[in-house]
């Protein structure tokens, strides 16, 4: 088919992708989270898929392993240094399982998406237990997305409606980080003006400073009093457009010295009660690639912590923890 003639097939579950936007490529094809598990804790509306990270570990039970991040993009739910509008899941499978071939697929040999063993919402790609009463062939996660689909044209022509809900879809490509190049020691007048502009944005409480400033200019913005941001700037200088940093058992690259959680503030695993460790972080630069949705969403750093032992999930999608760090002005600190 035409779908298989492009490289979009590489973002389907068959190829275990790491990606941003679109519909989630679920790993376990049967025990997908119930819609109630994907509701925003603030407004109770369905969250949408933000990104997923394929992060297999060197253990039999984690031969396949993916971390999923969902977000509610309602601006009223996006609060400074609060994580209630985010949901994170971990799922894993052994190499021998009932869903996928024992041998990895060849990326140069297009294959179709592996069929799911449950119905999915036509709008968001999450579990869809509710059936369209008219056509009997379309499913939804709940009334909210059914209404959206009907407004998009499904009422008149079942299955043909378009709903602008999903985020733009991109593949995440991982590369090993190079040591940063030392920045110039002499500040020009232009750089001083840029620093002043950055400080003004922070003082105004606008945590979305990165969406409106080109990444090439972002590297020149810093404040004398915040060495953490200076370290952030130097570290990303080699790849200023990076959208994600992966370093399991490492430490996050914080963007500011405030709202850094201590180990005792990271909740234990909800399944085994074991400690959680840092696994990866989502950078503010990703907002540049989310179109109009990047205007409503806002963050400095999203740090994802997962079970240290990556305990057996027993066919479940297990909740993990996300810490949201924003840049705020002195009054909010």
94-103, 198-207, 307-316: least confidently modelled range: 198-207
Distance CA 26, CA 178 (A): 32
Average pLDDT over residues 34-59: 96
pLDDT of residue 222: 47
Tell me, yes or no, whether 179 lies in a domain.
no
Average pLDDT over residues 90-99: 97
Sequence-ordered list of residues with C-beta below 8 angstroms from that of 296, at least 6 positions apart, any chain? 73, 74, 75, 78
Query: In terms of Cα–Cα distance, which of 123, 148, 88, 114 is closest to 30?
Result: 114
pLDDT score of 241 more than 50: yes
Question: Are residues 147 and 265 both part of a single domain?
Answer: no
Question: Are residues 207 and 86 both part of a single domain?
Answer: no
Question: Are residues 198 and 266 both part of a single domain?
Answer: yes
Highest mean pLDDT of the ranges 38-47, 206-215, 290-299: 38-47
Tell me, yes or no, whether 176 lies in a domain.
no
Q: How many domains does the chain have?
A: 2
Tell me, yes or no, whether 182 lies in a domain.
no
Average pLDDT over residues 114-119: 95
pLDDT of residue 27: 98
Domain range spanning residue 117? Answer: 2-171
pLDDT score of 3 more than 70: no
pTM of the model: 0.83
Q: Which of 145, 171, 197 is the last residue of a domain?
A: 171
Question: Are residues 44 and 131 both part of a single domain?
Answer: yes
pLDDT score of 72 more than 60: yes
Question: Are residues 159 and 194 both part of a single domain?
Answer: no
Question: Are residues 137 and 18 both part of a single domain?
Answer: yes
Question: Are residues 125 and 203 both part of a single domain?
Answer: no
Question: Are residues 95 and 45 both part of a single domain?
Answer: yes
Question: Are residues 255 and 133 both part of a single domain?
Answer: no
Find out whether 288 and 215 touch, Cβ atoms under 8 Å. yes
Q: Which of 137, 171, 205 is the last residue of a domain?
A: 171
| Tokens representing residue 272 in the block | 């085994």
- pLDDT tens digits, residue range 261-287? 999 999 999 999 999 999 999 999 999
Question: Are residues 118 and 157 both part of a single domain?
Answer: yes
Query: In terms of Cα–Cα distance, which of 321, 276, 326, 266 is closest to 301?
Result: 326
Question: Are residues 8 and 80 both part of a single domain?
Answer: yes
Mean pLDDT of the chain: 85
Query: What is the pLDDT confidence band of residue 67, given thresholds at 50, 70 and 90?
Result: very high
Question: Are residues 157 and 292 both part of a single domain?
Answer: no
Q: Which of 125, 140, 171 is the last residue of a domain?
A: 171
């Amino acid at each position: 088919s035409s779908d298989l003639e492009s490289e979009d097939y590489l973002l389907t579950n068959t190829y275990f992708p790491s990606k941003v936007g679109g519909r989630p490529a679920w790993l376990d094809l049967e025990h997908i989270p119930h819609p109630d598990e994907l509701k925003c804790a603030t407004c109770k509306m369905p969250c949408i898929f933000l990104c997923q990270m394929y992060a297999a570990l060197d253990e039999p039970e984690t031969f396949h392993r993916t971390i999923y991040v969902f977000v509610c993009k309602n601006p009223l739910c996006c609060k400074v240094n609060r994580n209630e509008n985010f949901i994170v899941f971990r799922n894993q499978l052994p190499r021998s399982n009932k869903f996928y071939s024992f041998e990895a697929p060849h990326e140069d040999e297009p294959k179709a998406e592996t069929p799911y063993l449950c119905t999915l919402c036509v709008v968001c790609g999450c579990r869809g237990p509710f059936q369209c009463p008219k056509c009997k062939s379309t499913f939804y996660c709940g009334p909210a997305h059914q209404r959206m689909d009907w407004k998009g044209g499904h009422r008149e022509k079942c299955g043909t409606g378009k709903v602008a809900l999903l985020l733009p879809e991109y593949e995440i490509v991982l590369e090993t980080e190079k040591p940063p190049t030392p920045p110039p020691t002499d500040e020009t007048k232009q750089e001083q003006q840029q620093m002043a502009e950055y400080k003004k944005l922070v003082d105004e409480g606008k945590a979305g400073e990165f969406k409106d400033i080109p990444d090439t200019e972002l590297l020149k913005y810093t404040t004398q009093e915040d060495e953490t941001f200076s370290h952030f700037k130097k570290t990303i200088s080699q790849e200023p457009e990076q959208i994600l940093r992966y370093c399991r058992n490492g430490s996050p690259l914080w963007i500011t010295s405030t709202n850094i959680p201590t180990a005792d503030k990271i909740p234990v695993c909800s399944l085994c009660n074991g400690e959680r460790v840092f696994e990866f972080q989502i950078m503010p630069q990703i907002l540049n690639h989310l179109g109009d949705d990047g205007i409503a969403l806002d963050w400095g750093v999203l740090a994802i912590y997962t079970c240290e032992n990556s305990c057996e999930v027993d066919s479940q999608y297990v909740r993990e923890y996300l810490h949201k760090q924003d840049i705020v002005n002195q009054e909010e600190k």
